[in-house]
Structure 1
Amino acid sequence: MSLKQRFRTSMKKVNGDLLTPISIFQRLQGKRKFLLESSAKYEGNGRYSFIGVNPRKTYSGIDQKLRDFSHLTQKEYFYEGELVQLLKQVMPRVSSHTEYPFTGGGIGYMHALPNTVPTLQFHVYDTLIIFDHLTEEIAVFHTNIEAEQVEPNIDELIHELFSTPTPAETSYTLSSFEKQSGSTYSAVFSGDAFALYRNLRVQFASAYMYYVEFDECTLIGTSPSSYIQIRDGALSTMNHEINIERFCQQETIEKAQHQQQGQLTSSFHAIDVVKELQPPHGLIGYIGFNGQVDFTAPTNMMTIIGQVAHIQTLHSDTSPSFSSLMKG
């Protein structure tokens, strides 16, 4: 076990070979949990899984109004304007350089869900659990984003992960599938949403898989690739329809069969690029405290609101295969 402390951050690593991202998620106690993981282990984006619970804040927006809600103080503030631009202004920023691509920040979506929920929503997590599939290490990373904030006890959290019994198996049911429009479907849902996610991640295993609990809904899905990723000032995308020349230094642009990338010019902030490039079908992913971002498109996604599962797929020929998830 090792502990490293920097200005406003602290991290502890432990051997995690007795745990998995799924078991870590199940043992965490609290609300508004999330899990980001990948089926492509040991390479690139698939090396790490990220798990969190009890976010510090939630930013949610509809039309031209962004709500800033503190889960600690129960206070809320409202801002008027373009939602993504407002998100850029309120998102905490902490400069940090670590071996991990994401060590805390906002987890959420932009314009990807039914009209009954906010069009933009991000939970802000200051404490993050990172599972390294290559070394089988667990890193617990905390970022102090408010001067008066009391530091969490990382040792207690690690003890919780190893000592809490894994919950009993749960189940779910999907029934009465109906086509709504295009590649959008609905179904009657009952049971445990995480049990549905566990089935989804097996039958639709992909490079990007996610489970995020919001107050209005639970969002689960899989996607084969990143739509837009910015790390250390470098923009990369698997989508060749994106014109990266608008944002990158021309001499740094590289294009291959499956990817194009380049170094951002100094005039662009990562969130500015996301705002310009977000597609009509929306994005799901993270915005780090350090300004790094990674978003995927809702290729196979379910939004569970009460007893209804809203199903969205960007490939209409794959939608009938959702019938394999009817019961689990």
Structure 2
Amino acid sequence: MYYPDLNRFEKLAKKGNLIPVYREVLADLDTPLSAFLKLDGRYRFLFESVEGGEKWARYSFLGSNPEMMIESKDRSVLIKKGGYFRRADFVKDPLEIVAHEMSKYKYVDIPELPRFSGGFVGYIGYDIVRFFEDIKEKHNKEELGLPDLFLMLFKDILI
């Protein structure tokens, strides 16, 4: 059975446009890592949550199948969504574009779920600071060729 039911979903839809739809799945034979290895796709993640110095994670978060990806390198931002690509070059601050894209989503909190049950996942690298702080070059920029920023909005999340 899926939650929330249709009646509650319609009420929640009045509060926002990013509403977790979930169901409980018996997975007592899987570990978080074995479940992660079963996920399809190039883009996926596994996070473990540890709260208050606990030894074991309270929750494991797994995601696959991103609906949208935002990637930034230097002054160029690429947004991939639904098979379409949009590029912005000579961007003053890539975080402004990220904020604009994120503002399109209004997450609806469901108290029965953990604090994270959906949203953007990824990283913002150190070099992004150059867009809002005047920092003199003291070292070579990173040479791995990684994006300065890479965020994904996942459609499928397991907790």
TM-score for the superposition, normalised by structure 1: 0.35
- Give CA-to-partner distance per residue, 1:95-125, whole Å, 9 cap, x none: 3112311122211111148341111111221
Shift of the alpha carbon at 1:38? 4.4
Q: Tell me, in whole angstroms, the C-alpha distance in 1 between the residues paired with 2:20 and 2:150.
A: 25
Rounded Cα–Cα distance in structure 2 between residues aligned with 1:124 and 1:39: 23
Which consecutive segments of 4 or more residues in structure 1 shift more than 3 A?
Answer: 38-43, 112-115
1:206-221 equivalent positions in 2, closer than 5 A: none
**Which residue in the other structure is 2:85 paired with?**
75
The answer (yes or no) to whether the contact 2:77–2:94 under 8 Å persists in 1 is yes
CA contact (8 A) 2:66 2:153 kept: yes
Match of 2:116 in 1: 102
Task: Give the Å deviation of 1:36.
Answer: 0.9
Note the residue ranges of structure 2 that are not aligned, 5 or more in a row.
14-18, 128-141
- Say which SS state the counterpart of residue 94 (structure 1) adopts: coil
Q: CA deviation at 1:32?
A: 1.1
SS at match of 1:60: strand
5+ residue gaps in structure 1? Answer: 131-328
2:64 match:
53
Matches of 1:86 and 1:74 in 2, distance apart?
Answer: 17
Cross-structure match for 1:32: 43
Is contact 2:69-2:151 (8 Å) kept? yes
Q: Secondary structure in 1 aligned to 2:57?
A: helix
Question: 8 Å contact 2:70–2:151 — kept in the other structure?
Answer: yes
The Cα of 1:40 is off from its aligned counterpart by 6.6
Q: Supply the distance in 2 between the matched residues of 1:94 and 1:57 (Cα, whole angstroms).
A: 15
Q: Counterpart amino acid of 2:70?
A: Y
Instruction: Kindly state the Cα deviation for residue 39 of structure 1 after the two structures are TM-superposed.
Output: 6.3
SS in 2 for 1:68: strand
The 5 A counterparts of 1:1-328 are 2-5=1-4, 6=9, 7=13, 8-38=19-49, 43=54, 46-70=57-81, 72-78=82-88, 80-91=91-102, 92-98=104-110, 99-112=113-126, 114-115=142-143, 116-130=145-159
The secondary structure found in structure 2 opposite 1:87 is helix
Secondary structure of the structure 1 residue equivalent to 2:121: strand
Change (3 A) 1:10 1:21: same
What letter is aligned with 1:105? G
Aligned partner of 1:323 in structure 2 is none
What TM-score do the two structures reach when normalised by structure 2? 0.67
Distance between the aligned counterparts of 1:66 and 1:119, measured in 2? 10
Contact 1:41 1:47 in 2 (8 A): no
The CA deviation string for residues 119-145 of structure 1, in whole angstroms up to 9 with x for no partner, is: 111122122111xxxxxxxxxxxxxxx
Whichever of the two has the greater Rg, that structure is 1
Structure with more contact order per residue of length (Cα contacts < 8 Å, sep ≥ 6): 2
Query: C-alpha separation between the residues in 2 aligned to 1:120 and 1:84?
Result: 9
The answer to which structure has the higher strand fraction is: 1
Matched letter for residue 126 of structure 1:
K
Distance 2:49 2:83 in 1: 34
